[in-house]
A and B are shown apart, each in its own frame.
Chain A
Amino acid sequence: MVTQNQTNNSAPSEESIIRITNMHKWYGDFHVLKDINLDVKKGERIVICGPSGSGKSTMIRCINRLEEHQKGIIEVNGIQLTNDLKNIEKVRAEVGMVFQHFNLFPHLTIVENLTLGPIWVRKMPKKEAEELAMHYLEIVHIPEQAQKYPGQISGGQQQRVAIARSLCMKPEIMLFDEPTSALDPEMIKEVLDVMIELAEGGMTMLVVTHEMGFAKTVAHRVVFMDFGEIVETNEPYAFFDNPQHERTQLFLSQIL
């Protein structure tokens, strides 16, 4: 799909941007995340994989507090996530999120979807916000769809709009929660291509995905999760060619 090692040369900096330490989460009595430790450097790209129900989506949703963790520390860009609403809003404005089902606002046009955050959160004048929106629509290659409604464009285009919507907030970090899982096969590439371009720009990215080709070419590290734990973390080639843990081996044998 993409030339290998195309994007792996931009090395992350030494500075940590996300620090998750001994984090636990429960749904009622069910222990979904167990003792998660993850340190993400600025500019680093991490792919998180694992069987369904392993807690990978829940983990990245904890990073912008769509899910609350019960124990441990999550620090994003120096801000610790607690119940303090002010901190949560600050973190959310700096962390972009792309969902499996796009979650565009169906009652607003594409450009209105994009300007909502800049206008209301960043207090940007409407005109300037629209210019910003058009800029990012060009980055995701669909400026001509600006005046349409989400229901009028294809799934792949919707997901690219969703990426642009997050980018309009000029986030430091982008979280992707299975961004291509709800797409028809012929639309997966256009979304992955946009994500690769984003990676080339040096964005810090955490991507939950089953696209192993993407993991190999784009990721600095691959994290494998199972039963709510991080089982193995390694560089992509070592991860795929020489998995250490037997659960990783089992998972890879099932999907490859």
Chain B
Amino acid sequence: MTEANVTTESGDDLKPPISQTGIIGWARHNLFNGWFNSVLTILILVAAWQLIPPIINWVFIDSVWNTTGAACQEVKGACWSVIPANLRLVVFGFYPAELQWRPLLAMIMLISLLLYSKNRNNWGKRLLIIWLFGLFLMGVLMRGGMFGLEPVESAKWSGLPLTLMLSFFGMVAAYPLGVVLALGRRSNLMGIRSLCVVYIEMIRGVPLISLLFMSSIMFPLFLPKDLNIDKILRAQVAIIIFAAAYIAEVVRGGLQAIDKGQYEAAESIGLNYYQTMRLVILPQALKIVIPPTVGILISTFKDTSLVVIIALYDMLNTSKSVLSNPEWMGSSSEVYIFVALIYFVFCYLMSSYSRRLEEELEYKTTD
């Protein structure tokens, strides 16, 4: 019998050479490996040296935070005073000042409901009821005319509440509509399929601006004279049908990624079409397309700013109206940076939540 060649003692662990680890090792590996990368690194360092100090000066050191508009003319840096002085106008627009606690409360409700819904353990029938009740309350708060609240016509709804409303309802309504359209486009029934194809291709073929124009100018021409549909509602519908077309195509991509065997397995245990879709196919397909779906939701959120062109005062438009005040002329950078920050915060929250959701829904493949 021959001896098997087996290592009996384990070798001692050695530390890697010092030049390969630590900050020096890292920098050599990533910043200075080869002349091209070394030149790039140096160029970028020089550019940063030139750019960053002036930006810091402008934002923090030379800036003023709490002055009048006139004082701002003398300052070299940013005039952040424009924000606190006009916060009311930027955020609430033309909603009556003495009643602005109502949109504020409505926004707080919306955001806390969204935060509550983040946790998937809370998803269920109860959540749906809470949402319906919450939405009703928010509507009452915005509109008034009930429970002794003074009515406020929708023409005065503006600023951040309008932006949140257009984008929230836009996303919430467009998503299921998009899923239905995607299923329709893959239907075996010729009529349904062509209807969905025509819808998707037509809506995707025109810019949102033209849809908004149609909703605000053309659509009323076809309505009877005394029937007046709210302008915000018309813009809302335009946003919904626009976003739904894009979501439909993304969802279709997800449906195509599902193996035929999944349909066959579901059918072979006797599930019907709706059960197969709801229980087996969609949960997998929608999970696959979370990243592109969130991309569309984020762009829907930002696209609501296009309602400027049909003279709705969303947050971007109310901030523009701040700049038309002679006292604050010349502070446009500060105002736009502030508005951009608000947009960024909401978009970033959506994006980070979607990443978390993706992780939670990841199928376990190891122990």
**A49 at interface (Cβ–Cβ under 8 A)?**
no
Chain B residues lying within 8 Å of A85, measured Cβ to Cβ, are 272
Which B residues touch A106, using CB under 8 A? 284, 363
**Interface-central residue, A106, A120, A166, by most chain B CB under 10 Å:** A120
Residues of A within 8 Å of B259, CB to CB, are 103
In angstroms, Cα B365 to Cα A107, docked, is 11
CB-CB contacts below 8 Å: B281-304 with A = 283-284, 287
CB-CB < 8 A to B266: which residues of A?
105
Which of B269, B280, B364 has a CB less than 8 Å from the CB of A165? B269
Q: For residue B362, give the distance in angstroms from its CB to the closest CB of chain A.
A: 10
- For chain B, the count of residues having a C-beta within 8 Å of the partner chain is 24
Residues of A within 8 A of B87 (CB): none
Question: A120-B271, A169-B269 in contact; A103/B264 too (CB < 8 A)?
Answer: yes
Q: Given A105-B280, A107-B283, A107-B287: A96 and B268 within 8 A (CB)?
A: yes
- Give A162 to B361 CA distance when docked, in angstroms: 22
Stretch at the interface among A21-29, A144-152, A184-192, A234-242: A144-152
How far in angstroms is the closest Cβ of chain B from A54? 20
Which B residue sits closest to A121, measured CB to CB? B270
Q: Is A215 an interface residue (CB 8 A)?
A: no
Q: Is B218 an interface residue (CB 8 A)?
A: no
User: CB within 8 Å of B: which of A96-113?
Assistant: 96-97, 99, 101, 103-107
B265 lies within 8 A of chain A by Cβ: yes
- The answer to whether B268 and A97 have CB atoms under 8 Å apart is yes
A243 to B271, CA, bound (A): 42
Report the separation of the CA atoms of residues A166 and B269 in the bound assembly, to the nearest whole angstrom. 7
A230 at the interface (CB under 8 A from B): no
Residues 144-164 of chain A, each 1 if its beta carbon lies under 8 Å from chain B, else 0: 000011111000000000100
Roughly how many angstroms separate A158 CA and B267 CA in the complex, as a whole number?
19
| Partner among A95, A120, A148 whose Cβ is within 8 Å of the Cβ of B275 | A120
Q: What per-residue 1/0 map shows which CB atoms of B83-98 lie under 8 Å from chain A?
A: 0000000000000000
> Is A202's beta carbon under 8 Å from chain B?
no
Q: Which of A93, A149, A151 contacts B270 (CB 8 A)?
A: A93
Name the residue in B269, B361, B363 with the highest tally of chain A Cβ atoms < 10 Å from its Cβ. B269
A159 to B287, CA, bound (A): 25
Chain A, 25-81, CB within 8 A of any chain B CB: 64, 66
* Given A103-B265, A105-B262, A152-B365, residue A92 in contact with residue B270 (CB < 8 A): yes
- Let me know if A89 and B262 touch, CB within 8 A: no
Distance between B51 CB and nearest chain A CB, rounded to angstroms: 48
The smallest beta-carbon distance between B237 and chain A, in angstroms, is 34
Q: A17 within 8 Å of B by Cβ?
A: no
- Report the Cα distance A166→B267, complex, angstroms: 11
Q: In angstroms, how far is the closest chain A Cβ from the Cβ of B272?
A: 6
Tell me the complex Cα distance, A152–B366, Å: 5
Do the beta carbons of B270 and A89 come within 8 Å of each other?
yes
B34 in contact (CB, < 8 A): no
Measured CA separation A3–B138 after assembly (Å) = 74
Given the known A-B contacts A89-B272, A106-B284, A120-B279, are A151 and B363 also in contact in the complex, defined by CB atoms under 8 Å? yes
Query: Which residue in A104, A116, A152 is a CB contact (below 8 Å) of B271?
Result: A116
A12 lies within 8 A of chain B by Cβ: no
Does A143 touch B at the CB level, under 8 Å? no
Q: Are B363 and A117 in contact (CB under 8 A)?
A: no
Known: A93-B270, A116-B279, A169-B270. A104 touches B265 (CB 8 A): yes
User: Closest A-chain residue to B274, C-beta based?
Assistant: A120
CB<8 Å pairs between A and B, sample of 6: A64-B268, A66-B267, A97-B268, A117-B270, A121-B275, A152-B365
